[in-house]
Amino acid sequence: MTAVVAILIDSYRALKAQRLFKTVLGLSLVVILGFASFGFNEQGMTFFFGLLDVESEYIYEGSKWAKTLYLGIFSYFIVTIWLGWAATILALISTSSIFPSFLSEGAVELTMSKPVRRTTMFFTKYLGGLMFVFLQVGLFCIGAFLVVGWRVGEWNATIFLAIPLVTLFFSYLFCVNVFFGVLTRSTLVALLFTVLFWFMTFGVRTADDTLSMVQFRTETLVSMSEKSVETAEGNLKEYREELVEIQQDGSDSAKEYYESQLKRGELNLENEQKSLDERRETLNQLKPWSITLDVIRWPLPETSRTIGLLGRWVEQDNEVSFEEIISGDWGEGGEEARDKRPHEIASDRIQERENSVSAFRIIGKSLLFEFVILMFAWWIFVRRDY
């Protein structure tokens, strides 16, 4: 146990000694100050600590929308963009050298001479790498918690859920980094393959979301076309019935009118049926690709969805979501005041699909991926002759 603590302390000191650790900490402070510069007064919103005022009928000091907007900016923008992208890239650069440096000639022989099992050494070093993100996010969340409490009077402890979620998100990438670091003993190669893997997961997710968007939109259009065909058939039936009655005892002008309406209805039905067939054909072509992407995406870690859990949990008790405020679908009437367009319905279905995926499934299958990759890295580490 003493040896494990000693290795963790050494890892912490090594990370703390790096300039990037202090750089990320300094940049996090700048982000927190930028977050704090945005606030509210009785008339609306303020920017740059009150230097700029923007009047708003709904978003002002004490309103329920102000709280939702402020927490949404934290969970959807700051956590996603800063912690989920920029800080993660800097963390990968800082931690990519942990195992390659550890396995370099001279260092590994000295370490192996200590009475510590290789398995214990491997996983302790791994946890030491995760400490970089854990400490950075922890300090960041403390600052965010104080800022949110000051600005909107909401001492929301769910902000601290960003610590385990961002650490989990980083661990999905760090396990790949460790695998290639142990395999190649090269910091640059480990970092390169980790970034490539990250962009691969991003590409697969983006392709899946885009295809799902197109599929849901096409399904909506198919449903609309089916209703149009049904309406056209009903109108055509009425014209035929009216024409039969008029042919028995009606004027020539009335006959000509209903005959023209009948021809127009037949043409309209033909066009609607053609449109329906084309959309059904498009939908049939999309489904195999959608299934293929689902199969490809399943074993990969859910990087984006893991970060997205924070926004879901922060908003769970809010009357209005952050996305509704950003899109303008709130206030008087909101979305219910108008009919939604196909792409809006598709967007809603995408959001419903994301919310229907449980946290257990998101984190569980991602940890399964991490476990498999770590076992490969561990096997190489303990079996290699140093």
Per-residue pLDDT of the chain (386 residues; tens, 9 = 90+): 666 677 677 766 766 666 777 888 899 999 999 999 998 888 888 888 888 888 887 788 888 788 888 888 998 889 989 999 999 999 999 889 888 888 875 555 555 556 568 888 899 889 988 988 999 999 999 999 999 999 888 888 999 999 999 999 999 999 999 999 999 999 999 999 999 999 999 999 999 999 999 999 999 999 999 999 998 888 888 878 777 777 666 666 777 777 788 888 888 888 889 999 999 999 999 999 999 999 999 999 999 999 999 988 887 766 677 776 776 665 544 444 456 788 778 888 888 888 889 999 999 999 999 999 999 999 999 887 66
Is 243 inside a domain boundary?
A: no
Is 274 inside a domain boundary?
A: no
Is 252 inside a domain boundary?
A: no
- What is the domain count for the chain? 1
Is 253 inside a domain boundary?
A: no
CA distance 290 to 212: 7
Is 9 inside a domain boundary?
A: yes
Is 101 inside a domain boundary?
A: yes
**Whole domain around residue 378: which residue ranges?**
2-199+307-330+359-383
CB atoms within 10 A of CB 104: 13
Owner of token pair 């146990």: 1
Is 290 inside a domain boundary?
A: no
Is 375 inside a domain boundary?
A: yes
